[in-house]
Structures are given as C-alpha cells and as structure tokens.
C-alpha cells in the first residue's frame, strides 16, 4: 500500500517563503540551520485510518454443496453486505462426501486448500453452517502452518455433540443409532464423529474419532496447541436457533450439554467441564469478552435477514488499521 505524505499548508508556505527547498539554501552558511529545520519537520507524523479487506470462507453443512443455489446466494449476500470478498470452500464432491467422508479427513482437506489460497495468507474469517462448524474448528485447531483465523461465526454448530438424530429413518441413521462407535461407522459416516451419547461416555471417549480430540476431552491426550490456537480468535460468534430440531440439544451450539452419564439436567456452557476446566480455551475467550452467545428465532439455519445483518456481517467487515503518512526518517 502506498504511503501518503502530508504536510500542512502553513508549513509549505513557510518553506516557500524562506526558500528552504531551493538550491540556494544549501549554499548558504546557514545550511546547518536549514537541515535542522527539515529534521524538526520530520517529527510531525500524521496517521490516516486505512481499512484492510479481510476475506472470508463459508463452510456448508451436511447434504449441501457449494454449487447449490442457496449456498451461492448466501455467500454472495454476505459478501455484498460486508463488502468483503468471500467464497465457499468445497471438500471433495460436496454433498456425498459431507455424509460419507470422516471429519478428520474433511478437516485435513480443508487445511490444505486454505494454505494454497494466496488471498487468505494474511488471515481470514470463517462462517460455518451446521456440521461445517466441526470442519471449521478443525481448521482452527489442527491445521499446522496455516494463516490465522480472525473471526469465526458459527451458525447452528453441534460443538458439544448431538445426543439424538430426530426424524431420520434411513439405513445410515439406523447404523448411527445402533453401532455408532464401531470403526466401520466412524470411518464411513461423518456425523458419527460428533454423536455423543451421555449414557455411553466410556465408549464415546474410547472410540469416537473426532469430537473428543477436537474438544480436548480425553484427560491423557489434551493438547495445549489446540487451546492456544482456539484462544487466538479475535471473535467467536455462537448462533443458536430457538426452534432447532436438528441439533439435539440445541444448546450444543453454545457448547452446552448434558452431564456425563445422564440426560438431565441440560447444562449451560458455563457449567460444563469443557468450560470450567477450560479444555479448549472457551472460558479464556469468554473472560476476554470475545465470545458472543446469540439466540435467534427460527428452525435450524433459518436465519432472518435482519439477524444476518446484526449478528454475522459485523464480523466480516473491513478491519481498520493505521499507517504513518509522513516519512519520519532523520536526515
């Protein structure tokens, strides 16, 4: 970015009147005083606020893909409202792989793609929908040598897991209900990576291949790097939909969940061990005022335009920076 050099009009007139800038000044015996005046002027440094356009990526949910009309429209809407460049990051073939590819592999692919996108090299923001949030957090926590994520907006993300799969009778859902912690299901059905049955916590911690690692839940395997990376976020916006019947319980979108071994009571995020023991840094971020717990009307991912403007767009807009606009180097 080109720096702007600015001297007030009164100083320019003074210089002109005194012929300081002419060659005759340098031939006079008062050359030293001339140089001293220029040095003095060099300390008048002015700042101009400049905005930096920070790009964002969108990570869609399960059974969706970047080429779907709704996803294209939402990505474009966010870009138009925020005046920031954005794109949907696809993983594999989209819809099918969102179901059948394990989340560990999805996060790995997303990591490699992000590192290859030159426009993200100085940092970027994330907006993620539903299951896409678990890929987003994999990017933040697991991705080595990656550009920094500044703001992260989570829309209906099952961060603490799901305890039930309502309104689903397909063979895939039957497998998830009956054999969720088997190696086969874990390796072939993506949602198995974040199903957390409160009454089967020992099986979950031992056999689930994604969420226990992401949430630093295993006492002997907690990784301080994951916590360090998560707490580096500038803002974490957690949006829960009041009528959500897909993420069960819906409070998982805020990291709320059931206590181990029981389905009651439903704990708010601040009463879970993940928060109180600060496994991933959620408590640290919250204490710093960087977590926004947002509740909006509507069913899963059914967000009103005004709520998008209020709760999403501000975290995608340009970030002000300040640059020197006068050269303060001494002669």
What is the pLDDT averaged over residues 184-203?
98
Residue 166 CB neighbour total at 10 angstroms: 10
Tens digits of residue pLDDT in 52-74: 789 999 999 999 999 999 999 99
Residue 323: the pLDDT is: 43
Task: Say whether 319 sits in a helix, a strand or coil.
Answer: strand
Q: What percentage of the chain exceeds 90 in pLDDT?
A: 78
For the chain, how many helices (H) and strands (E)?
15, 8
Q: How far apart are CA 116 and CA 106, in angstroms?
A: 16
Domains of the chain and CATH, by start: 1-51+323-331 (no CATH), 55-315 (3.40.50.1820)
188 or 4, higher pLDDT: 188
Q: How far apart are CA 251 and CA 257, in angstroms?
A: 7
DSSP code per residue over 240-259: EETT-SSSSSGGGGGT-BPP
28 or 164, higher pLDDT: 164
pLDDT for residue 11 is more than 90 = no
177: nearest Cα among 160, 187, 163: 163
Tens digits of residue pLDDT in 234-269: 999 999 999 999 999 999 999 999 999 999 999 999
pTM value is 0.83
Mean pLDDT of the chain: 87
Residue 143: the pLDDT is: 98
Q: Give the least confident one: 6-10, 153-157, 250-254, 281-285.
A: 6-10
Q: How far apart are CA 154 and CA 76, in angstroms?
A: 18
């Amino acid at each position: 970015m080109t720096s702007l050099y600015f001297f007030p009009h009164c100083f320019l007139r003074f210089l002109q009147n005194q012929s300081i800038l002419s060659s005759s000044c340098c031939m006079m015996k008062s050359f030293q005083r001339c140089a001293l005046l220029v040095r003095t002027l060099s300390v008048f440094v002015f700042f101009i606020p400049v905005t930096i356009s920070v790009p964002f990526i969108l990570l869609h949910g399960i059974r969706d893909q970047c080429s779907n009309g709704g996803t294209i429209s939402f990505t474009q809407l966010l870009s138009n409202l925020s005046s920031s460049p954005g794109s949907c990051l696809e993983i594999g073939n989209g819809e099918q792989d969102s179901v059948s590819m394990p989340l560990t592999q999805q996060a790995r692919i997303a990591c490699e793609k992000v590192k290859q996108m030159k426009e993200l090299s100085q940092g970027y923001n994330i907006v993620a929908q539903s299951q896409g949030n678990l890929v987003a957090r994999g990017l933040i926590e697991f991705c080595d040598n990656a550009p920094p994520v500044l703001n992260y907006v989570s829309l209906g993300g099952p961060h603490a897991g799901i305890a039930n799969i309502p309104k689903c009778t397909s063979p895939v859902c039957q497998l998830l209900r009956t054999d969720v912690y088997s190696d086969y299901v874990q390796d072939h059905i993506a949602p198995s990576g974040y199903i957390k049955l409160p009454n089967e916590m020992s099986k979950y911690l031992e056999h689930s291949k994604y969420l226990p690692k992401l949430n630093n839940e295993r006492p002997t395997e907690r990784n301080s790097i994951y916590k360090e990376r998560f707490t580096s976020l500038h803002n974490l916006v957690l949006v829960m939909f009041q009528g959500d019947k897909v993420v069960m319980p819906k409070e998982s979108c805020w990291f709320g969940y059931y206590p181990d071994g029981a389905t009651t009571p439903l704990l708010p995020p601040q009463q879970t061990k993940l928060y109180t023991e600060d496994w991933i840094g959620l408590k640290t971020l919250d204490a710093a005022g960087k977590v926004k717990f947002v509740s909006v009307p509507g069913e899963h991912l059914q967000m009103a335009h005004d709520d998008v403007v209020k709760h999403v767009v501000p975290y995608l807009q340009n970030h002000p920076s300040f640059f020197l606009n006068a050269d303060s180097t001494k002669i």
